[in-house]
């Protein structure tokens, strides 16, 4: 995360971030705005409702507040206006740890720990690492294609493999809500396409609700069931577009439906940029 530290300390038990299982949206944002202590207005009037099982991309230009929005949803930062409600776990109770997984743009691995120990981190923080937890780590590493690399250290891995460890670490607790902040932006094109497919397979098998931040039109269309297009800062949502392409998506990149959707999304993004300049 860039910029100065946010004055708000992390707190997942904020009054409006309480558990409530059921059919209601998993994330509900109403009139959300964020003005930093510096006076900078990052977000304004965000309206967003995310249903369980959706794969939603937040697409917008650099600096429009995507990371800020994701941090608010994760409970790492509070909005200065409006409300953010995340419904996970039991009604009225604080969200149990591990129900939200967060993947940053940088894999943020511990260089002194091997792959298995890095992926195990959420359990170590929670103070429980037994046989069941080790099984879950092994399963998550298998799911991201890293079986056999448990003993390797981060410096022995490629950029794509390091990102896979980071995704495995977010998956070990089997989160209902997976937040990813431009996880593939620093990777080469070929690795990025492969990881797109891996992420899609994970979503298709485990069906977490995914919020995926990106500034790539092509990536957002390939991955998502829905795309929220954001305006330049202060960010707000200017278009909310369902992606009607069928799953599995392998092969979709050459389909006419994919090309047409990319054109629609590019148009919405272009309009947001033009409106901001006028
Ligand atoms: P994005 O992820 O879309 O690139 P960010 O959410 O990181 O955008 O940032 C939105 C704006 O808020 C940027 O202008 C950024 O410099 C600013 N910003 C981010 N974090 C802070 C902070 N803690 N304090 C002050 N300004 C910040
Ligand atoms: Mg960002």
Choosing from 148, 174, 200, the residue where a domain stops is 174
Cα–ligand 2 centroid distance for 92 (angstroms)? 31
Write the pLDDT tens digit of every residue in 152-195. Answer: 999 999 999 999 999 999 999 999 999 999 999 989 999 999 99
Question: What does pTM read for this prediction?
Answer: 0.90
Which of 4, 42, 231 to probe ligand 1 with, by most ligand atoms within 8 A of CB?
Answer: 42
Inform me whether the pLDDT recorded for 10 exceeds 50: no
Give the count of domains, the chain.
2
Residue 42 Cβ inside 6 Å of ligand 1? The answer reads: yes
Q: Which atom of ligand 1 is nearest to the CA of 40?
A: 26
Domain of residue 199, CATH code: 3.40.50.300
Query: Measured on CA atoms in the order 85, 89, 94, 97, is the torsion positive or negative?
Result: negative
pLDDT number for residue 8:
36
Sheet with 27-35, edge to edge strand ranges: 41-50, 27-35, 81-86
Eight-class DSSP state of 235: B
Taking only the tens place, the pLDDT of each residue in 123-145 is 999 888 999 999 999 999 999 99
Q: Are strands 177-181 and 100-103 parallel, antiparallel or unpaired?
A: parallel
Q: 242: Cβ below 6 Å to ligand 1?
A: no
pLDDT, residue 1, reads 36
Q: Do 168 and 189 share a domain, yes or no? A: no
d(CA 42, ligand 1 centre) in Å: 6
Same-domain pairing of 152 and 184: no
Q: Is the CB of residue 63 below 6 angstroms from any atom belonging to ligand 1? A: yes
DSSP conformation letters of 80-141? SEEEEEE--SSTTSBPPTTSEEEE-SS----TTS-HHHHHTHHHHHHT--SHHHHHHHHHHH
Instruction: Please state, in angstroms and as integers, the Cα–Cα distance from residue 91 to each residue in 19, 24, 83, 86, 97, following that order.
Output: 5, 11, 18, 11, 15
How far is Cα 34 from Cα 40, in angstroms, rounded to an integer?
8
234 Cβ below 6 A of ligand 1 = no
Which residue minimizes the CA distance to atom 14 of ligand 1? 63
Q: In Å, how far from its chain's centre is CA 43?
A: 18
Residues 242 and 193 in one domain: yes
The parent domain of residue 137 ranges over 107-174
Instruction: Let me know if residue 236 belongs to a domain.
Output: yes
If asked whether residues 144 and 188 sit together in one domain, one would say no
Give residue for tokens 């971030």.
Answer: 17
Do 120 and 199 lie in one domain? The reply is: no
User: What whole-number distance in Å separates Cα of residue 240 and Cα of residue 167?
Assistant: 26
Q: Give tens-digit pLDDT for 15-37.
A: 344 444 456 899 999 999 999 99
DSSP letter for 71, please. Answer: H
Residue 162 and residue 188 in one domain: no
pLDDT of 135 = 96
Share of the chain above pLDDT 90, in %: 80
**Is the pLDDT at 11 greater than 70, yes or no?**
no
């Amino acid at each position: 995360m860039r910029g100065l530290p946010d004055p708000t300390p992390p707190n997942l038990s904020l009054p409006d971030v309480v558990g409530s299982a059921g059919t209601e949206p998993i994330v509900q944002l109403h009139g959300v705005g964020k003005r930093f202590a510096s006076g900078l207005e990052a977000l304004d009037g965000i309206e967003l409702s995310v249903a369980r099982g959706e794969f939603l991309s937040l697409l917008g230009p650099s600096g429009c507040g995507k990371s800020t929005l994701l941090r608010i949803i994760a409970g790492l930062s509070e909005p200065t206006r409006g409300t953010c409600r995340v419904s996970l776990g039991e009604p009225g109770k604080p969200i149990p740890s591990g129900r939200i997984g967060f993947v940053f743009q940088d894999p943020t691995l511990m260089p002194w720990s091997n792959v298995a120990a890095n992926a195990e981190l959420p359990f170590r923080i929670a103070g429980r690492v037994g046989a069941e937890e080790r099984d879950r780590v092994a399963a998550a590493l298998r799911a991201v294609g890293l079986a056999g690399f448990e003993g390797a250290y981060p410096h022995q891995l490629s950029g794509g493999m390091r990102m896979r460890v980071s995704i495995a670490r977010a998956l070990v607790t089997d989160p209902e809500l997976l937040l990813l902040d431009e996880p593939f932006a620093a990777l080469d094109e070929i690795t990025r396409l492969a990881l797109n497919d891996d992420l899609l397979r994970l979503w298709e098998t485990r069906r977490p609700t995914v919020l995926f931040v990106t500034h790539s039109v092509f990536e957002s269309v390939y991955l998502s069931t829905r795309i929220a297009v954001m305006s330049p800062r202060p960010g707000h949502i200017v278009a909310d577009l369902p992606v009607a392409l069928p799953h599995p998506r392998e092969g979709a990149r050459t389909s006419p439906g994919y090309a047409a959707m990319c054109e629609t999304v590019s148009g919405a993004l272009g309009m947001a940029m033009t409106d901001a300049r006028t």
